[in-house]
Structure formats: C-alpha cells, structure tokens
Amino acid sequence: MNTLLLAGTLLLLAVTGGAIFYLISVRTRTGQKRLSSIAVQDVPAQPTAPITDWPGVRDRAPIITSLLQRTEIQNALQLQILRAGWLLRPSELIAMIVGAAVLGALIGLGASQRWPVGVLGAGIGAAIPWMMLKTRQSSRAKSLNAQLPEAMDMLASALRSGFSFLRGLQLIASQMHPPVSEEFFQVVEEVQFGASVSEALDNLIHRTQDYDLELLVSAVQTQLEIGGNLAEILDNIGGMIRERVKLSGEIAAATTEGRMSAGILLALPFGIAFMMNITNPGYMDPLFTERLGTILLLIGGGLMGLGAIIIKKLVTIDI
C-alpha cells in the first residue's frame, strides 16, 4: 500500500507538471513567433487589426470558458496567469486544477480505502498547479527586476540617439530576453491596437505589480505632461534599481537560514508520518478513522499554516 501511495504521488506530480509544460510549450512557440515579428517592423502610425486566428491556441475547455465569462473570476485568474508569463486561458488552468484534484483523490482512495485520505489527496492535487503558478510568478518577478537596469540603459541610449519612446520600447522587446521583452512588447502591441501610451503603461503596472516599473512609468508620464530630460531620469532610475537588486540579494542571503528552517519544519511532520506508516503500518489509522483524530489533524494543519505565515512575515523585508 505504501509503495502504491508513493507511486501514485509521483504519478500525480508527473501528470500535472507534464500537462502544464505541454500547454505552455505549445503557446510559447506561438508567442515567440509573434514577438520575433516586431524585430524588423516599425510601430505603425495607425492601429492594426488584431490577429484572431493563431495556430495552436484553440480553447481546450470551452464549456468552462463560457461559465467564467459570466463572473469576475476570469479576470482575476487571467491576471495571475499573465504575472506568471504563461500563455494559458483561465479555463485551462481550472481544468488542470480539477483534473489534478480528481487524480489525487483517486490515488488517495486507491491507496488507503479511506475517504479522508481521498479528500486530502484531492486537496494536494488541486494545490500543485496553483503552487507551480505562484512559484513561476515569483521567479519571473525576480528575473524582470534583474533585467530592468539594462532595459533602462538601452531605453536611455535609444532616446539619446533620436528614437521616440515607443521605438525604444520596441527595441527592448526585440533585443532583450523574456520576461522584460514580453512585457514591453505587450505595451507596444496595446499602443498599436489603439491604446494611449499612458494607458498601456498603466496596464503594465497592473499586470506586473513591480515597484521599480512603477517608478519608470511615473517618470515617463511626468515627462509626457511637463517635459524634461527623460534619458537622464532613466539613468538615475537604472542606478537606483541596481542598488535595490544588490541589496535584495544581500537580504536573501541573510534570511536563507530562516527560509530553510521554515521548509524543514513544514516537511518534518509529513516525513515522520510517512516513516511511521512504513515501519508500523496501521499505527496512524485512528487519525483518519476516529473523530478525535480528524479534529487533531485539522488543528495540526491549521497551526502549521499559521507558523508558515509567521515565518514568512519574519523573513520578508521590504526595501
């Protein structure tokens, strides 16, 4: 039974990760084709017609999409997906979460024949895609922040060479690597489709929630309203961002011990439970079959969650 449970858990991780990788890889190839097309094009004076027939982007969950369109959940999920840089629809993310939950429940029930374990497996399965999404968001935000100083230098150089601000953004989108190229390409594309520069930059802030980008947008919008030497302002912002990135790295190194402690403390109960179940099968059955055991499990899970939140607050330092 223990071998079956372990094999099922590995299968759940493999299937969920494989599904996400497949969907994203297909969409990424299409997105890269669109991104590379602006390397040899100038920004048109008039908005161009949007492309509506892209190969490989067929909706794989149209029923869920039709249901989400009636709620505000779709916009919230789409924003989360955009922050992760995934080319997915909200309906596809929900389909993956539901599929992972069903697979987790089947594995739990098949391995233990107890419905609490099945519910726990469903919860773990549903959490895997969401955790992968949040992990990707964090990684992408760090990469974007690290690329911003170079992007500011390139934009300042473009302005000094006589390029317009929008042409400078187009240069960044065509010459730099994701994620900064993707974000600035999105700004250029929105302007091409009829949005003003200020509106496109506001959407950039809403999409990324990045403080350094907010400084850039504020400087650009101020320059557009009252004038000024934007290239010099960008140089100053780029230098400040470099210092922030350096300080952020030092803080991350100083808080490594706390983050490792949090990970060990959270994983320790599950590791001990797994080993006890191997060495003494049935010893932990009362936790899943008795009412008191279920209550204790819920209390323990709640205390672990509270401890994780407290440790996260202690090791998170705003700069």
Q: Which residue is listed with tokens 């797994």? A: 274
> Nearest 5 degrees, angle CA 156-CA 157-CA 160?
90
Residue at 245 is within a domain: yes
CATH number at residue 245: 1.20.81.30
Task: Give the whole-angstrom CA distance, residue 189 versus residue 47.
Answer: 9
Residue at 205 is within a domain: yes
Residue at 4 is within a domain: no
Euclidean distance between the first and the last CA atom of the chain, given in angstroms as a whole number: 49
Is-contact 96 20, C-beta < 8 A?
yes
Is-contact 180 151, C-beta < 8 A?
yes
What is the tens place of the pLDDT at every residue in 152-176?
899 999 989 888 888 999 999 999 9
What is the tens place of the pLDDT at every residue in 224-275?
777 778 888 888 888 888 888 888 888 888 888 878 888 888 888 888 887 8
Residue at 131 is within a domain: no
Tokens of 177: 């690597």
Structure confidence at residue 14 (pLDDT): 62
Q: Which residue is listed with tokens 């008795």? A: 290
Structure confidence at residue 171 (pLDDT): 92
Same domain flag for 163 and 243: yes
Q: What is the pTM of this model?
A: 0.69
Domain boundary among 253, 279, 310: 253
Same domain flag for 287 and 229: no
Residue at 105 is within a domain: no
Residue at 137 is within a domain: no
Task: Give the whole-angstrom CA distance, residue 262 versus residue 303.
Answer: 13
Same domain flag for 221 and 304: no
Residue at 49 is within a domain: no
Is-contact 222 189, C-beta < 8 A?
no
Would you say the C-alpha torsion 34, 37, 38, 39 has a positive or negative sign?
A: positive
Same domain flag for 179 and 245: yes
Structure confidence at residue 63 (pLDDT): 75
Domain boundary among 253, 278, 306: 253
- Domain span holding position 268: 255-319
Same domain flag for 150 and 242: yes
Structure confidence at residue 236 (pLDDT): 86
Q: How many domains does the chain have?
A: 2
Same domain flag for 151 and 242: yes
Same domain flag for 152 and 244: yes
Tokens of 166: 């929008």
Same domain flag for 285 and 217: no
Residue at 116 is within a domain: no
Structure confidence at residue 43 (pLDDT): 40
Q: Which residue is listed with tokens 């994620």? A: 179
Structure confidence at residue 32 (pLDDT): 52
Same domain flag for 246 and 273: no
Structure confidence at residue 188 (pLDDT): 92
Q: Which residue is listed with tokens 């990788």? A: 21
Interhelix angle for 256-279 vs 230-254, to 10°? 40
Domain boundary among 253, 287, 302: 253
Same domain flag for 207 and 228: yes
List the chain pLDDT tens, one digit each, 319 residues.
455 555 555 555 666 666 555 555 555 555 555 445 444 344 443 333 333 344 445 666 677 777 777 778 888 888 898 888 888 888 888 888 988 888 888 887 777 677 777 787 888 888 889 999 999 998 998 889 889 889 989 999 998 988 888 899 999 999 999 899 999 999 999 999 988 888 999 999 988 888 888 888 888 888 877 777 888 888 888 888 888 888 888 888 888 887 888 888 888 888 888 788 778 877 888 887 788 888 888 898 888 888 888 888 887 777 6
Tokens of 48: 């161009």
Same domain flag for 238 and 259: no
Same domain flag for 319 and 273: yes
DSSP 196-254: -HHHHHHHHHHHH--HHHHHHHHHHHHHHHH---HHHHHHHHHHHHHHHHHHHHHHHHH
